[in-house]
Amino acid sequence: MKEHLHLLIDATVANPPKSAEEAKAWLDNLVTEVGMEKLGGPWAVYCDDPENRGLTGQVWLTTSHSCFHFWDNCPTPFAKFDIYSCRHFDIGKVVRLFDEAFNIVNGSWTFINRNDATAHPEITQGTIR
């Protein structure tokens, strides 16, 4: 049976990616580290809209996707990240990779196990720092 697993990270960060190339390299590394396969991408682009300034990145996986947006035009940059997969992955490893690259100041993670479509999803949450 395929799994349906979704991890979300909300965090303030000290070291947001400085370029689209850096963001794409991190997504490439993420795919390798969690043992998945790319279907497309990664892509990253800087959004210069004054209300939404920051880097957006995405990679399509053969088992679904991963994406993020970093807002960097504020006193404390922050990020929203998610990875959804029909294949098991290590939550701790993904959080650690995100923290090592972007230096989480504080944040939280939410893991949603959507395996049983007939019941409510199983939700686990934690804090970072």
The tens digit of pLDDT for each residue in 89-100 reads 999 999 999 999
State residue 7's pLDDT score: 97
Q: Which tokens is 51 given?
A: 């209300």
pLDDT bracket for residue 118 (50, 70, 90): low
How does pLDDT run across 27-78, given as a tens digit for each residue?
A: 999 999 999 999 999 999 999 998 889 999 999 999 999 999 999 988 899 9
pLDDT bracket for residue 125 (50, 70, 90): very high
| Residue the block writes with tokens 């998610």 | 82
**Contact residues for 112 (Cβ-Cβ < 8 A; gap 6+):** 5, 6, 7, 8, 121, 122, 123
User: Cβ(42)–Cβ(24) under 8 Å?
Assistant: yes
Model pTM greater than 0.85? Answer: yes
**Contact residues for 42 (Cβ-Cβ < 8 A; gap 6+):** 23, 24, 27, 28, 31, 57, 58, 59
pLDDT at 102 over 60: yes
State residue 1's pLDDT score: 57
State residue 69's pLDDT score: 97
